[in-house]
Structures are given as structure tokens and as C-alpha cells.
Amino acid sequence: MNSEERIINTLCRKEVDRVPVFEWTIDKKVINAICPGHTYEQFVYDMNLDAICIDLDYEKEEIEPGIFRDEWGALKKYSTEEHSVSFKGCIKTLKDFKKYEPPDPHSPDRFITLEKALNKHKGKKAIILHLNDVVSIPRSLLGYEEFLMDTISEPELVKNLVELSVDINLKLAKEATARGIKIIYTGDDFAYNSGPLVSPERFKEIFYKGYSKVMKGFKELGLYVIKHTDGNIWPIIDMIISPGIDCLDPIDPQAGMDISSVKSRYGDRIAIKGNVDCAHTLTFATKEEVIEETKKCLHDGAPGWGYILSSSNSIHSAVKPDNYIAMLETLKKYGKYPIKI
């Protein structure tokens, strides 16, 4: 069974030889500490991970050192991690929205990295494309604080931006599917540790229709869909699952989310991915503690198929390389079916 088959079978909650494993991002510092000089793609093969995760290609314009304007028009800056952080939007009013021109979803340049990855790795590793659903793009175009306030003061503006996000991401997905992509994930976070970004009622009013439309649209294209969201999503989890996603990630332990509970309630409908704690365990704990937590994740998530092992978010720059290795070695020892822990 190759990696793509292993992950697709897992997303379908079918039998596999072992629990698959991959991460959305792995920081270069961690890669270099474990495999000096290797690229992310080389590292995936080195460590026997099952997927290579790809972003689409967008242009950016540097405004000043470390700060740039992306192709969407938002201002972003680099943090100490692999990803950038949006800190200023480009839309303030409905009038701004009506004049706004988003990036062309049909541009051939958008898919160069994806096409290279498919040509090089298809049939060897699962290629998983990062798209969005209904929060990340509106939040970036408005600015984070403005986005939260506008859900109350300017809900029609937010709804228009949600519709824009849905439309563009379905067009991007159609282009990606034509090129051979089979699996996508959406990385839009819906919650804090304390609960959803907005009340369940407001989530249903502003976001759910668009969220349901984009997820069903992905499925109509024949795609397998992994939904990522950090935070305590218990108050809205039924709305997240209901449009027919294939997998939920990462079942955030810092927010009180529990794999065993999610598995018992929803394991007949979705696969689950997660959730060795990257905020504490992989960063500060001992190797022995990592081993025990990884074993618990396998014990709670793997029985009955439909489980992907990963961190609770990503392998960020503060993760101890030895702890990440301990997690992967524990999978190698205990992750073959039938699970015996």
C-alpha cells in the first residue's frame, strides 16, 4: 500500500496497513536539525511521512523589509515561523468591496508548484492542496479585529466576502482537480481555546451557508476534504461536519478537544487527524512523555480505521527535534494494524 492509497483509504474509513502520518507544515529549523540540508520534500521521504502539502502560487510585493502586500491586497509580515501573518486589510466598506478585484483563480501561474509536485510525487506520496473556505480570506481582507467587529456591525459586508471566498475557492478547486489533485484541506480557524470566534447563532447566520456550499462543491468535484480548525469547536462541530467533510483536524487538546470523544460521536461519519500536543508536549516535555501521549492518541484514534497521526497543529520552530523523532518512532512501533497498545 503506497502513501496515497493509505491516506485515501483512511479518509474513507477503510482498512489500511498502518496509521498514516503527515504535518501541514514542518519548520526548516526542525528539518535541518534532523536531516541537515534537506528540503521539505526530501524530509517527507527521509521520515516516511505519507503526504506532501502544497500551497498555490501568489505574487507578493515587498513594502519594507519583512513586510509585503500579497496578491489579495492585504499587508503581511513574516514571523519566526514558516508562514506569514496578515495585519492590515484592504477593504473597509461595501463600496470598497464592490470595487475590489481578487486574484485570477484561472491564472496558469497559480498552479506551477502544484503541477511540479504532482509530476514528481504522484503515486509515491499523497499530494494535499491547501485551499480556504469562509473565514481566512474575509479576515485577511478586512483585518483581524475589523473582521470580528464587522460580524456584528457590518454583517452584509462579511457575507459578501464569504461569497467571494466560496466562489474563488471552488474555481481554484476545479482547476486543481483538472490537474490531478485528489485531496484538499482548508485551513480556516473557527475558534479560540475558549470557544468559536462568533456565537453559534452568528456562525450559522453569516458563515454556515457559504461553508456548506464550498464543502459540498469540493465533494461534487470528487475531492477528499480535510477540514482544519484549531480551538474549542464543540458548540459548532455539528455544523462543521454536516456538509460531508471526510476528516476533521486537529482535535485541539489545548482547547479541551478530546480525540476519544470525537471518535466515539462522529467516527462513523468522518476520519480524524491529530493530536500530539505541539504547544506543550512536543515543545517542552521529555521523550518519554511524547511516547506516552503518542500511544494514547493511537489507542484512542486508530481502532476502527479512519485515523491520521499528527501534531495538534504543526511542527513549528520550537518543537524539539528529538521529540518529533520520538513521536514518529512510536508510530512505527505501535501504529501497524491491528493496533495493540
Q: Is 276 contained in some domain?
A: yes
Q: Report residue 151 as a C-alpha cell.
A: 460580524
Q: How far apart are CA 118 and CA 124, in angstroms?
A: 10
Q: Region 193-222: what's the mean pLDDT?
A: 98
The answer to the question of residue 181 being in a domain is no
- 136 assigned to some structural domain: no
Q: How far apart are CA 223 and CA 244, in angstroms?
A: 11
pLDDT at 78 over 80: no
Per-residue model confidence (pLDDT) at position 82: 67
Name the residue with cell 485551513: 187
User: Is the distance from CB of 231 to CB of 190 less than 8 angstroms?
Assistant: yes
| Angle between helix 287-301 and 321-334 (nearest 10) | 40
Quick one: pLDDT band at residue 87, thresholds 50, 70, 90? confident
Q: Is residue 204 part of a domain?
A: no
pLDDT digits (tens, 9 = 90+) for 267-294: 999 999 999 999 999 999 999 999 999 9
List the alpha helices (DSSP H) in 221-277: 237-241, 259-266
Domain membership of residue 327 (yes or no) is yes
The answer to whether position 9 is within a domain reads yes
| CB 215, CB 117: distance < 8 Å | no
Helix (H) or strand (E) run with residue 51 in it? strand 51-54
pLDDT tens for residues 25-48?
Answer: 999 999 999 999 999 999 999 999
For the chain, the domain total comes to 1
Q: What pLDDT is attached to residue 86?
A: 81
The count of residues in the chain is 341
Q: What is the pLDDT of residue 172?
A: 98
Tell me what pLDDT residue 80 has.
66
Average pLDDT estimate for 43-54: 98
Tell whether pTM > 0.95.
Answer: yes
C-alpha span between 339 and 341 (Å, rounded): 6
Q: How far is CA 310 from the centre of its chain?
A: 11
3-class state of residue 29 by DSSP: helix
The confidence score (pLDDT) of residue 66 equals 85
Other C-beta atoms closer than 10 Å to the C-beta of 39 total: 11
Instruction: Please indicate, yes or no, if residue 29 is contained in any of the structural domains.
Output: yes
- Rg of the chain on CA atoms, in Å: 19
Average pLDDT over residues 172-178: 98
* Average pLDDT, integer, range 308-337: 98
pLDDT in tens, 288-313: 999 999 999 999 999 999 999 999 99
pLDDT at 341 over 90: no
Show Cβ contacts of residue 75 under 8 Å, excluding neighbours closer than 6 positions: 63, 67, 68, 69, 86, 87, 88, 90
* 310 inside domain: yes
Question: Which domain range does residue 290 map to?
Answer: 1-49+267-341
Find residue 275's DSSP bridge partners.
Answer: 310
